[in-house]
Amino acid sequence: MGLSMQILRAADRVPVPWKNGGGVTRDVAAFPEGAGFDGFLWRISMAEVRADGPFSVFPGVDRVLAVLDGRLRLEVAGLAPVEIGPDSPPAIFPGDAPTHGAVLAGPVLDLNVMTRRGRARAHVRRLDGGAVPAGDHLLVALEPARAAGIPLERHDALALEPADGPATLESGRAWLVSLET
């Protein structure tokens, strides 16, 4: 993954226009590092959604979307509509399917995990403290937290590789993003 035990501070993230121009996103991490919208194997970002509208289309990409703040109705072509909020499981959908988001309570802040289909996969789950097995993972703090002995502010991330060994989320809650390449 190339991010061995690295702290990725929310305060350091730079806003980047959405691919479709409808808003801004802030990259958390991508591989290869610095890859653009068309060159990533995987990409993790946070976006603020203030208004209803279409999602950008990403051919050959699978998406996992978790809501950190607000509430969103997601309509993906070929799938049943789903409403997601901070306490919901993440939505999983193809990035090349026409997708529309409707803000039910906002603004919405989402965690967007994208992987190149057939070359990478991601699993995203909420972690309320506890063990993180060795592997390629990214912990995204939902509140001030402590992981592997490192204090994290809200929305900071901690990148872990297999060589880092198992870790522990000692306090706080986080989304755990597990990546397979």
Q: How high is the pLDDT of residue 2?
A: 55
Kindly report, residue by residue over 46-73, the tens digit of the pLDDT.
999 988 999 989 999 999 999 999 999 9
Q: How high is the pLDDT of residue 42?
A: 97
* Average model confidence (pLDDT) across the chain: 93
Rounded CA-CA distance 92/167 in Å is 26
Rounded CA-CA distance 149/134 in Å is 16
pTM, rounded to two decimals: 0.93
Cα–Cα distance list, 173 to 47, 68, 113, 121 (Å): 20, 11, 18, 23
Kindly report, residue by residue over 144-154, the tens digit of the pLDDT.
999 999 999 99
Contact by Cβ (8 Å): 154, 144: yes
Contact by Cβ (8 Å): 76, 106: no
pLDDT for 38 beyond 90: no
Q: How confident is the model at residue 112 (pLDDT cuts 50, 70, 90)?
A: very high
